[in-house]
Each structure stands twice: as C-alpha cells, then as structure tokens.
Chain A
Amino acid sequence: MALPSSLPELPRSRTHPFHPPPEYDQLRKESPISRFVWPNGVEGWLVTTYSEVRTLLADPRLSINRFNSPPPSLSAIKDRKPEVMLPRSLVAMDPPEHTPWRRAIVKEMTPRWARSMEPRIAEITREYLDRVREIGPGADLVENLALPVPSRVICEVLGVPQADQEFFQEQAEVRSQVGAPAEKINAATRALYEYLGQLVTDKRKSANTSDVLGRLVHARIAGEPAPHDIVVGQAMLLLIAGHETTANMIGLGVATLMDNRELIADLADTAKGTALVEEILRMHAIIQWGIVRRATDDIEINGIHIAKGEWVVCSLASANRDESRYGCPHAVDTGQAQSPHVTFGYGVHQCAGQSLARTEVRVVLRELFAAFPGLRTTVAPEELRYRYEMWVYGLYECPVVW
C-alpha cells in the first residue's frame, strides 16, 4: 500500500459553468508547474500557464505512452488496471512510430477537405433541425442535434453504415462516464472493438477505397501493410474522439451565445463565424482535466526538475485563460487577433480532427440560429445541467424554446 499523499488535491470545483476552477488563476500567478495528487491517488505535475503547456507538449521527452501504469485520473478507484486493452492508436504512440500513422490519417482531414464538407454538414444539420421543429418547444438540442450530427458525419467519413450509429453513440457515452463501473466500460469497449473488427475485415476484402477506413485498411505504413488491430484502434479513436467532443462544444456554443446574443449574427459570415468559433473553443477547453504525459527522461523547466517516470498533466483550460496571452481571458473577445488556443492540444498529437470540428461547430450553430433566430434555452444558461464530473466537459441536455 502506498502511503497517503501529503500533496494538495487537484482543484476541481467550478464556481461558474463557463470557467475553470478559480484556483487555476492563482496557480498561474504563483506556481505554474506544481505537484498535486489526483483522486485515484496518483501524484503528478500540473502545468497551468500557456507558454509552459506548449513547451512541454512539444517536448519529445514527454511520452503519451502509459507504460501499463495508471495515470493521474479523476476516477476514484485506485490502481484500476483496464481489463480490456484498447487496441493501439495514435494516442498510444510516440514518434517515430506515430509519424506514418498520423500522416495517413491527417491527410484525410485537411482544412481544405473540411471546407469541402461544409454543404454536406449543413444538409445533415437541417435534417436534424426539422426533427427539433417537429418535437417542438422544449426539445433537447444535445440529444436531437449536437450528438447525432457529428456522429453522422464521422460515420459517413469513415464508411460506417448508418444503421449502426445509435449503437456507437451509446457505447461512446458509457466509455466516458467517470463513475461508470469498470465492467460496463469494458463491455462497451469490447462491443465497439468487435463491431469495428468485423467492419475492417469486410473493408479489407473489398477493393472499395471511397471512404477513410477503406483507404486506411489498404494503406502501407512505413512500407508495411497496415496491421488489422491497429487499423481497428485508429477507427475506434476517430469515432470516439470525434463524436462527444464536438457534440459538447456545440452545446457549450449555444449556452455561450445566450449570454452574447449580439454575436449570433457573426455566424452568417464565414470569416466572422470562424473567429467566433475560435473564441468559443478557447473559452471551453472541454478536455477539462487536461492531457496527461509521462517523462521518459529528466526535464528542467523554469527551475523545476521533472524526474524521469513522473506524470505531467497539462491544463488546456488554464492555458487558454492565461492573462499574459489574452487581454480579456474570461470573456468571448472577437474584437482582436488572439493567440492560438490549445483546446485541441499542441505538439505532434494536436487534434487530427480539428478542421472538421471547427467546421461542424460553425455550421451547426449557423444553421441552428438561421432556422430559429429567437432560440433560447428554457432556463438561464448558468442553470443548465453541466458535465462537471465528466472527462469531456459540456452539457447533459440543452432544452430550448423559440
């Protein structure tokens, strides 16, 4: 048994749903790299300032590999060993192994491609908006718009049949519940894994390369044929990473615009809408507890010694509010050019789906307010139900009237 830690506990109580816990403001000022104990009893460094977060996330001595030990986590179960080993994917690989896989995937999701997807995303969005109208005032935008649209989009991109989409939504939701029992999470993981394994097998037999999975299955990675289980792992990552994240950002976008109604008009213009979405993204770094790395060597930074083997957690939410970078850190500020936010991370693992996500958030918000200009949430945005305890922050539901 490890001795109970003498370190302070990670601050995690928000005082306002739009803002990270206030302790982070103080940490940035007084102790940008400091040690904490996470609720699962694991100790690590918490990094809270913009420049240090970026420096460390770009440092090749920080690995994304977990080396089979439990990382700092919000889950209170100590030393929980995952029973189902997730198939390997980009988020379990360091360079040089990561590099050819990363290229095979990002070449499918360039900014140019994301722009070309705009009409299709708008079309799908309008389909779900029709349903919202049918349901009538009180309709929940999370369930009826924010979740299904990104899911439809990523399924179409990957080449997952439409009939299986609901299944994906359910499994992905289970997997990200902080309090969910391990058996439930493992069952969901296994179900997804089995389904995708079959799909990848089917695609391997077919010569059809009209979708991303079809191309990935037939790709050569560093000169070798792509191994089956890693293709399945990458497919799983794309489905999970691209679904709930974007959905939550859409929900938070709606809530944020309730308090900033004068900005809704900006959505009609691509350039202005893009700037507005960047600010919504900056305000809400939804991977709310930051991203975790492990030092593979000793690192000196700002007079601090991070020892080989120690965990480092980079707070994206705190970096995005760094006073030394942003003139107006805690409010949507589209009036000036801003430093690029780190909501999508930084370094070689920076979100591979960021261009698609940006387009999806902008197009869904634009179409939503075009269809319902008078749209408002049924209660004040601060009183909606937020995913305080979830790894991906956002709204559980967003009931609206118009």
Chain B
Amino acid sequence: MPKVIVDRDRCCGAGLCAQALPQVFDQGEDAVVVLLEENPPAELVAPLADVAFACPSGAIRVVEQ
C-alpha cells in the first residue's frame, strides 16, 4: 500500500493535488495542502506518482510500504 507524505512548509498552495485526487488531498483555509488519506488504495499508485511529479514545490512524497 502506498503511503503519502506531505511537507506543509514547502507547499505553495497551487492546489494541483486536491484537483487531481480529491479523495486524497484537500486545501486548507490557508491554501496549504491537507492530507485526507495517508494510506490510499494501491490502485492510486500511478495517479499519486503523477501528482507528486506535478506538485510545483516538491511537497508530496509517495513511499511504498
């Protein structure tokens, strides 16, 4: 199962993550990423990798566990 790690200090609030995978990410009041699902289902591995790649501030990491 993938594990998602977000770095809220690095996030620049572009919101690409919440747009692409609303079941995993949201944006808080201050636009900073909020992780809704730390352990998303395995079928999201590929889309998660895409989102981590698209994040303009390198604030998302996905690790396999």
Contacts and interface: CB of A to CB of B under 8 A. Distances in A.
Interface of A: 58, 99, 102-104, 106-107, 110-112, 337, 339-340, 345-350, 352, 354-355
Contacts of A106: 12-15, 31
Given A103-B30, A107-B29, A347 B57 contact: yes
Nearest to B50: A337
Contacts of A104: 30
Nearest to A358: B19
A117 to B, nearest CB: 14
A347 B59 CA distance: 10
Contacts of A337: 50
Of A104, A111, A349, chain B has the most CB atoms within 10 Å of the CB of A111
A349 B50 CA distance: 20
B44 interface: no
B36 to A, nearest CB: 14
A12 to B, nearest CB: 27
Complex A-B, nearest 9 residue pairs according to Cβ-Cβ distance, in ascending order: A107-B31, A106-B13, A350-B56, A111-B19, A340-B54, A106-B31, A348-B12, A110-B15, A111-B15
Contact of B56 (A110, A348, A355): A348
Contacts of A58: 56-58
A339 B14 CA distance: 17
Interface in B1-49: 12-16, 18-19, 27, 29-32
B13 A354 contact: no
Contacts of A346: 56
B14 to A, nearest CB: 6
Contact of A103 (B13, B54, B56, B58): B13
Given A340-B54, A347-B57, A103 B15 contact: no
Contacts of A350: 12, 14, 56-57
B56 A347 contact: yes
Contacts of B29: 107
A352 B18 CA distance: 15
A345 B57 CA distance: 11
A181 B29 CA distance: 44
Given A110-B27, A110-B31, A112-B18, A340 B53 contact: yes
Given A110-B27, A347-B57, A350-B56, A102 B19 contact: no
Contacts of A103: 13, 30-32
B15 A355 contact: yes
Q: Which of A337, A346, A348 has the most CB of B within 10 A?
A: A348
9 contacts: A102-B12, A103-B31, A110-B27, A111-B15, A337-B50, A340-B54, A346-B56, A350-B12, A352-B14
B49 to A, nearest CB: 12
A124 B16 CA distance: 26
Nearest to B32: A103
Nearest to B10: A348
A348 B15 contact: no
Contacts of B57: 58, 347-348, 350
A104 B53 CA distance: 24
A104 B32 CA distance: 10
A285 to B, nearest CB: 15
Contacts of A339: 53
A350 B15 CA distance: 11
A347 B10 CA distance: 10
A58 B18 CA distance: 20
